[in-house]
């Protein structure tokens, strides 16, 4: 997903998701965020990887990447302005946020989704 023009870091590519709310675990958070951001009801699978990135101002960002097994509904964008399904061979060609890039590098190195 590409961040929309009104979002911080507009134009950068990222995986959809967001911050944990109180009492949520990873799959619950991702399920809620996908509903909010894409209007889909997703079935969340196993944890794929966790990437950690320290920003220039010292903030630590942990990105938990989960497999999406299936989803119901039609994707509609609310905070993003563009969505692309990208073949694994092209995954590293997008200008991604650092934590997202680490996930993409892991997926390419692993060689399968």
Q: What is the domain partition of the chain in residue ranges?
A: 2-110
Instruction: Give the pLDDT of residue 113.
Output: 55
pLDDT digit string, tens, across residues 54-78: 988 999 999 999 999 999 999 999 9
CA distances from 77 to 31, 53, 61, 73, 113 (A): 15, 26, 24, 12, 23
| Low-confidence spans in the chain with pLDDT less than 50 | none
Instruction: Give the pLDDT of residue 112.
Output: 61
**Domain at 2-110: CATH architecture:** Alpha-Beta Complex (3.90)
């Amino acid at each position: 997903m590409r961040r929309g023009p009104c979002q911080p870091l507009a134009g950068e590519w990222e995986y959809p998701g967001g911050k944990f709310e109180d009492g949520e675990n990873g799959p619950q958070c991702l399920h809620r965020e996908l509903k909010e951001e894409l209007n889909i009801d997703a079935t969340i699978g196993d944890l794929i990887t966790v990437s950690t990135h320290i920003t220039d101002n010292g903030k630590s960002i942990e990105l938990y990447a989960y497999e999406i097994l299936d989803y119901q509904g039609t994707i509609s964008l609310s905070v993003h302005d563009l969505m692309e399904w990208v073949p694994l061979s092209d995954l590293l060609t997008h200008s991604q946020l650092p934590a997202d890039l680490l996930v993409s590098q892991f997926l390419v190195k692993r060689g399968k989704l």
